[in-house]
Structure 1
Amino acid sequence: MDNPKYIQVMRQVASDFDGISHELFQVASDLERMDQYNPQQKLFSLVRSAEVSSVTLRNLTARTVRDDTAPFYCEVADLLGIKVEETHDWLKISVPAILPKRNQRDNQAFLTRPLRYAIMDYLKENPMERFGSCAICIVHNYDAALGKRRIRDYDNIETKRYLDVIESMLLTNDSGLLCTVLQATRMSDRDSAEFYLMRPETLSSWAKNHIKTTTKTCSE
């Protein structure tokens, strides 16, 4: 691993993380000094930078893995809190909180690659047929301790990249004629998102268990 380019990229990533840390400390300082300061855009920018740097570091690390890289990415998925669970009625895929819609230049591999490997790992241990027709219900969980003003309209939340991965691996076809997508919001103990995949005839049972409590907690 004495390749000059490899070492150069490693040092660049280290420098990028150092810059992110410095800017985040500055945001915290500005919040203390200015009551009306809104850090949203700056924080989004730092998230983008951190994701790009994290993916670059992952790729550098993957080059040191001499065997199959799947266990490495599955461990990343576990660290990120990505889980695939199956019950009798539906398949549940849990991921970290989904950020608002982002630019095309933003990194897509930060969560989608670990998500893909997590699903692959699950299917390896639990083979299943792809859904011919399917209902996908997305629940956006918001940390109740941070308040309800953070709740966003569904058309301002980036779900397509997640759905593209899920549909490509678990559905035979993602046509609107065969796939129904619903979304709901729930206050919780942390920010996260859950994708429930089920046969269309199971949708009413899912809605009965989730929609009523979700609506109640958000309107109180």
Structure 2
Amino acid sequence: MNSDMLLNRIRMAQQGLIGVHKKLYTLEHLLPSPDPVQFAETAKSAALLSERSTASLRGFLFTTTGGMPNGYYQQAAAVQGIKVSATDDYVFVRVPALLPKKKATEGFKFLVVPLQASFEEYRRQRALPHFSDCVICIEHIYDRCLPITAVRDYDNLEFKSILDVIALYCMKDDTGALCDLYHTTRFSYASCTMISVMPKKSFPAWLSTQMRFTDDPPQFAEKS
């Protein structure tokens, strides 16, 4: 790739980041008493622009280096706060807070590929349980500084891509005939999404534990 093409790609990346900056600037100036709908839509627009920029910059790195540097996606997972862990009866996954669904799905590559890398890294070191009849529990955790209007409807959040990755590594199938899906929402110290996969017999104990610790800071810990 010649210098003119590289310069063009760099400037395209700059434009994407400038777009994110403009949206954040708009959010700042909507304070201190923003219209909830306008604020939410502007924040959503900033997030989607950021996703596009992340995917674009990864593509730029790939084309300029002739391939993705070794260990890049594991590093990306660490930066994003993605983590996979397991016990004999549970698989736990922590990912950033899920975003609203959208027609263009390419932006979610920023999350899916590092999640796959996290599963691969964990599987190289320890065995993962495999479920044929299970419950998938999704905890949508919101920063307690956010207003109640920040909470999204469950069916308006993008989860399919994440579930596809989890099913690939530890489930026979994600069909409703074999697994149940449970969603819950709580406020805590930072936004994230916690996913726990377990045999159906383990769900009552998991639910009881979660109900007792709803005010704990979000952290990734193996349950026994």
Short-chain TM bin: 0.7 to 0.9
Q: CA deviation at 1:145?
A: 2.5
Superposition RMSD in Å: 2.6
The equivalent of 1:5 in structure 2 is 5
The equivalent of 2:150 in structure 1 is 150
Q: Which blocks of at least 5 consecutive residues in structure 2 are unaligned?
A: 216-224
Secondary structure at the aligned position of 2:120 is classed as helix
The equivalent of 1:218 in structure 2 is none
Structure 2 residue 196 is the aligned partner of structure 1 residue 196: yes
Alpha carbons 2:86, 2:128 under 8 Å: kept: no
* C-alpha separation in 2, matches of 1:136 and 1:60: 36
* C-alpha separation in 1, matches of 2:35 and 2:128: 53
CA pair 7-125 structure 1, distance change in 2 beyond 3 A = farther
CA pair 68-146 structure 1, distance change in 2 beyond 3 A = closer
Q: CA deviation at 1:214?
A: 4.4
CA pair 26-104 structure 1, distance change in 2 beyond 3 A = closer
Moved more, 190-199 or 178-187: 178-187
* C-alpha separation in 1, matches of 2:185 and 2:30: 32
Q: CA deviation at 1:68?
A: 6.7
Amino acid at match of 1:198: M
Secondary structure at the aligned position of 2:140 is classed as strand
Secondary structure at the aligned position of 2:17 is classed as helix
CA pair 154-105 structure 1, distance change in 2 beyond 3 A = closer
Paired residues in the alignment total 214
CA pair 97-122 structure 1, distance change in 2 beyond 3 A = same
Alpha carbons 1:100, 1:156 under 8 Å: kept: yes
Q: CA deviation at 1:151?
A: 2.5
Alpha carbons 1:135, 1:200 under 8 Å: kept: yes
Secondary structure at the aligned position of 1:137 is classed as strand
* C-alpha separation in 2, matches of 1:144 and 1:178: 35
Percent of aligned positions with the same letter in both sequences?
28
CA shift digits 1:71-130 (9 cap, x unpaired): 101100100000112234411100111122223356221211211111121112223353
* TM-score (normalizing by structure 2): 0.82
The equivalent of 1:84 in structure 2 is 84
Amino acid at match of 2:194: E
* C-alpha separation in 2, matches of 1:30 and 1:204: 44
The 5 Å alignment of 1:44-193 reads 44-65=44-65, 69=69, 71-104=71-104, 107-193=107-193
Alpha carbons 1:137, 1:195 under 8 Å: kept: yes
CA pair 132-143 structure 1, distance change in 2 beyond 3 A = same
Amino acid at match of 2:141: N
Q: Which blocks of at least 5 consecutive residues in structure 1 are unaligned?
A: 216-220
Alpha carbons 1:70, 1:117 under 8 Å: kept: no
* C-alpha separation in 1, matches of 2:99 and 2:105: 15
Secondary structure at the aligned position of 2:184 is classed as strand
* C-alpha separation in 1, matches of 2:210 and 2:27: 38
